[in-house]
Every structure is written in structure tokens, then in C-alpha cells.
Structure 1
Amino acid sequence: MRHLTSFVWLLVFGLAVGWLGLAAAEDDARQVEAADTPQLVIPGVNHGGIRDWVPVDDFTLLIQDNFRKWYRVKLVVPSRQLAYAENLGFVTGPSGILDNTGAIVVRGQTYPIASITASEGPKRQRR
């Protein structure tokens, strides 16, 4: 009988701790979702929809579409050739929309896209 009582108390305690852990994880997930910026897509890329692009670093690229909106594109892996590239290729789906399932081609190497978010464009330099 003593073992059964201990087992029941352990079960109740385990369920309470597990429930509290799930509640804390759910709160953390809500905070992460609120902190994340929305993922965007760039339409019409396969029909000349890119007006300009500026490399920021090995992981980041700023892209301007034909409507003069700027997007910050983060790559999954770094591209050391991005700063020296004269042209880029874009891998899109059949609809021609560039999203986080697409990729950027630099000098024959394909770099998958991690995220696309809104940006204000490159910093302007004073002359």
C-alpha cells in the first residue's frame, strides 16, 4: 500500500511539473513569435522584378524591387564572393516569387535563403 501511495504522489507531482513546463514553453513561444519580423516575398523576380541589390556582409543582401521597396535577405550559409559579384541569379518557384524557400546564385554557387524581411535600404553616404 505504501508503494502505491508513493507512486500516486509521484504521478501527481510529475503531472504538475510537466504542466508548468508546458505552460512556460508556450509563453516563450508566444514571445518569440511576437519578436520575429514577418517573412516577406519578392514578387515577379523571374520577370525582371529586381531593380538593385547591395551586399551588406557575407550573410546579408539588400534587394530593391521594381516598386522601389527594399528587402533584407539573409542567407543560410555565408558567401565570400557576394561582395565582389557583378551579377546574381535567383532561384524561385514556378510562380516567380522569391521567398525563404528560394536561393541566390553567386558565380555558379547556390546559397539558400534563410529569411526575407523589410528594410529601409542601404545607408546613404554624404558626399
Structure 2
Amino acid sequence: MASRRAVDPAEMREAVVAVRPWLDDDAQRPARPELAAAVRLSLRTLEQIAPGNSVEVRVPPFAAVQCVAGPRHTRGTPPNVVETDARTWLQLATGRLTWPEALDRGTLTASGTRADISQWLPLLRIDS
């Protein structure tokens, strides 16, 4: 499989800034293309900074990436899975929500011994 083009940090920042009001509860849900861009670019950034195939991070319906060095899974359900919704993911990615807070709220599930990806979060900080 061909490797993907590296994410431009400015492009990722711009995509996430575009949905910032929604992350802060100040606006209606962004248009699907804006939200998809923010989620996909931030997940691909995680994939770049934590390369590997031992953890699958899912933000349905927008994207899933594999990251974190370790044993690679090849078929079926991976042993280490993180799954959340778009808002929770972007709040984690921007530092507006912590890993323990998301787990306590039940908006984040993390299963497997390598599933705690909190050491790579936040991916970026944007001013309120």
C-alpha cells in the first residue's frame, strides 16, 4: 500500500479552527465536509506522530487509523481499539477534554493494553 502524503500542520490547524465554535458549545454542528476534514486530518496527524499498527483509532463515520508501534494485527477485530465520536475526538485533539474525562463521560472507549493514546494528545492547542 502506498504511503499517504504527510499532513501539513497548517492545513490541519485550519480545519480544526473551522469547527472550534462547535467544540466550545457555541455553535451548531458544522457542515459534514468541514467536520470530516478536521477529523481526518487530525487522525492522520496522530498516525504520523505515533507510527505503527498496534492500535486502531476509530471516529465513525469519518475515519479510522492505525498507530502506535507494537504487534501488528492483520485480520478481524484488532486487540487494541479506541473509538469515539467526532466532537469528543476533536476535544481530545485540542486539549479541551482529557483522556480520563472522556472515559468517565462514556464518550470514549479504549480496549486493549496499548489503547491509551493519551501521551500523544493534545495534537494541537487552539485559543478559545
Same fold (TM over 0.5): no
Structure with bigger gyration radius: 1
Structure in which a larger fraction of residues adopt strand: 1
What TM-score do you get using the length of structure 2 for normalisation? 0.26
What TM-score do you get using the length of structure 1 for normalisation? 0.26
Structure in which a larger fraction of residues adopt helix: 2
